[in-house]
Amino acid sequence: MRLLAISSQKGGVGKTTVSVNLAYSLARRGWNTLLVDTDPQGSVGLSLSEKARKCQGFYDAVHTGVSVLPLILPTRLPELNLLTAGQSHSFFGSGHESMDTLAALRRMVAEIATRPFDLVIFDTPAGLTGSSGDVLRLADSVLIPQQAEPLGIRSIPQMLQAIQFLRNHGSKLEVAGILMTMVQADLKESAEVVRELRALVPAQLLCQTSIPRDPVFLKASAAGVPLGLLHRNPPAAAHVFDQLAAELEPRLQLQAPDSANEYTRLMD
């Protein structure tokens, strides 16, 4: 089981959009995937369904010690399951937030490991402290969404320094990639940010796939579905996440059995 954090110092870079749609694409490709919302705002639940907003989830397990397994929600896609943020609002201001959340998170991960998940994706709040920092300490890999706008690019060196700090203190965290989001290829300033980032970081860190700015993301979020389920014929932006999933599989060390790569004849 691999642990992937979707993390950024900045808010508004598309972490939840990436988390939901990447989890869906990886599940469609056959990987048993658990999407975990660790954002106190419950961003994943807000994006998916009214039911998900009201369920217990991550923060209930962290702060009360209840087993996380009964809180995991199935979806209509058998390979995709969801752990919502839960009722986080009831814990703020009560003193619960000072508890050892890292220890609680370790316990949760150990429980989740008893289930046949190939990958756990954590959608984290903006920043590198609190639950985000705890997730990064335990994760195998981090995917860093980066909005294609000039001011945002300045946070990338700081993010990479923070990851190196964690590695120096015993973390196994690897950078799965820096993912450009909200890219407007026809806008000079947006394209310039992409070029600048390619010059700033090692080539292997920057994902070849990028996420375009597209109103269809808002429509999918309002409907509470991944892009791939928005219409009978998925919009072009949905296929971008299929490309991202394929690109990340080797980076996340997701390896299918050799037989999965064998072709099937049309007739015997």
pLDDT one-digit tens code per residue, 113-128 = 999 999 999 999 888 8
Q: What is the average pLDDT across 79-99? A: 65
DSSP 101-142: HHHHHHHHHHHHTTS--SEEEEE--SSSSHHHHHHHHH-SEE
Q: Report the pLDDT value the prediction gives residue 95, as an integer from 0 to 100.
A: 45
Q: What is the average pLDDT across 184-192? A: 77
Q: Is the pLDDT of residue 5 over 50?
A: yes
| Alpha-carbon gap, residue 142 to 4, rounded angstroms | 5
| Alpha-carbon gap, residue 194 to 190, rounded angstroms | 7
Query: Which H helix or E strand runs over 251?
Result: helix 236-251
Q: Report the pLDDT value the prediction gives residue 177, as an integer from 0 to 100.
A: 94
Q: Report the pLDDT value the prediction gives residue 51, as an integer from 0 to 100.
A: 64
Mean pLDDT, rounded, of the chain: 84
pLDDT band at 42 (very low <50, low <70, confident <90, very high): low
Q: Report the pLDDT value the prediction gives residue 151, as an integer from 0 to 100.
A: 66
Q: Is the pLDDT of residue 45 over 70?
A: no
Q: What is the average pLDDT across 241-258? A: 88
Q: CATH topology for 2-255?
A: Rossmann fold (3.40.50)
Per DSSP bridges, beta strands 80-83 and 73-74 are: antiparallel
Taking the model in full, what pTM does it have? 0.88
